[in-house]
Amino acid sequence: MLKIEGLSKTFNQDTPLENRVIDALSLKVERKDFITLLGSNGAGKSTLLNLIAGTLEEEEGQIILDGQELTPMKAYKRANLIGRVHQDPRLSVSPNMTLLENLSLADAKGHSFSLKKAIDLNRTSYYKEQLSTLGLGLETKLHTKIGLLSGGQRQAVALFMAVMKKPKLLLLDEHTAALDPRTSEIIMGVTEKLISQEEITTLMVTHNMNHALSYGNRLIMMHEGRIVEDLRGKDKAELTAQDVIAMFKKNAEVIEDRMVLGL
Ligand SMILES: Nc1ncnc2c1ncn2[C@@H]1O[C@H](COP(=O)(O)OP(=O)(O)OP(=O)(O)O)[C@@H](O)[C@H]1O
């Protein structure tokens, strides 16, 4: 469903700061996969998501979504196929607009519109009904500016907006990292509910070991721009925190060995 082949990205090419962040990476994602993506700081996780979303341009490789080559497609066009939620809610929602205005804009995505025209009163009762299923009281906040909602409510709105148009692919980039532990759990519950309800193929970057282990059907670990572990099904279900720590250690040791050997 998503096929990535030989994807590479180097920042600051041909300068002393040259950094090959994605290194000939290949990945095949199956329909309805819910992949948790782990990796140490700087492993290239966000860069991979940026390349898929088209906010960064690859230097080599192909990204094919449902048979469609994404690489020549601009980010705003890919946004019709790909939903995205960031750690910072300001990147996913407009804080100075009301919840209803934000939802109407997300609903009108891909069409030319005026905001006034986009607010469809018939949709308002649908939004209320859908929002009430999230259990965060958002159905009573339709006329509240998003900036006045709690961090958890904002992320729930961002998620709701990201899946509203049933994207082929959902990219979650540490979307619970800025939330307190309790709210983070609530948002993960909402995430799972929306993903399974809409059957959306998902790639979720996280530093939260529990989330990486308990959610999804597949766990991928990235290191230095490559995929170094890819576990699914039973292998993923049986994975423990100790196993994941051992994977991190193994990769760190490879770097240490290389440094010692000057490779
Ligand atoms: N626009 C950019 N220009 C130059 N370097 C960049 C840019 N974006 C990212 N990098 C560098 O690329 C490397 C990988 O960054 P990336 O954000 O993809 O890592 P990550 O795995 O998401 O890390 P983290 O877990 O810390 O968020 C880092 O060394 C980062 O400094």
Consecutive sets of 10 residues in the chain, 263 residues long: mean pLDDT of each?
Answer: 97 93 97 96 96 96 96 92 89 88 81 56 84 90 93 91 92 94 92 92 96 96 95 94 90 62 48
Domains within the chain, CATH numbers bracketed: 2-261 (3.40.50.300)
Atom of ligand 1 nearest to the CA of 205: 22
44 CB less than 6 Å from ligand 1? yes
| Per-residue pLDDT, 66 | 95
Give the ipTM.
Answer: 0.97
CB 239 within 8 A of CB 219: yes
CB 229 within 8 A of CB 220: yes
CA–CA separation, 57 vs 116, rounded Å? 35
The rounded Å distance from CA 46 to ligand 1 centre is: 7
pTM equals 0.90
| Per-residue pLDDT, 263 | 47
CA–CA separation, 220 vs 181, rounded Å? 23
CA–CA separation, 263 vs 154, rounded Å? 46
**13, 14, 41: residue to mutate for ligand 1 pocket, most atoms within 8 A of CB:** 41
φ and ψ of 206, to 5 deg: -150, 150
The rounded Å distance from CA 77 to ligand 1 centre is: 24
Amino acid occupying residue 154: R
175 CB less than 6 Å from ligand 1? no
Q: 261 is written with which tokens?
A: 């050997």
CA–CA separation, 121 vs 131, rounded Å? 15
CA–CA separation, 12 vs 253, rounded Å? 27
CA–CA separation, 116 vs 28, rounded Å? 42
**13, 19, 22, 226: residue to mutate for ligand 1 pocket, most atoms within 8 A of CB:** 19
What residues pair up with 240 in beta bridges, in sequence order? none
Atom of ligand 1 nearest to the CA of 222: 21
50 CB less than 6 Å from ligand 1? no
Neighbours of 123 (CB within 10 A): 15
Closest Cα to atom 12, ligand 1: which residue? 21
The rounded Å distance from CA 203 to ligand 1 centre is: 17
For residues 170, 141, 151, 206, the Cα torsion angle rounded to the nearest 10 degrees is: -20
161 CB less than 6 Å from ligand 1? no
Closest Cα to atom 3, ligand 1: which residue? 11
Atom of ligand 1 nearest to the CA of 40: 25
| Per-residue pLDDT, 252 | 74
Sheet holding 34-39, edge to edge: 82-85, 169-173, 201-205, 34-39, 218-223, 226-232
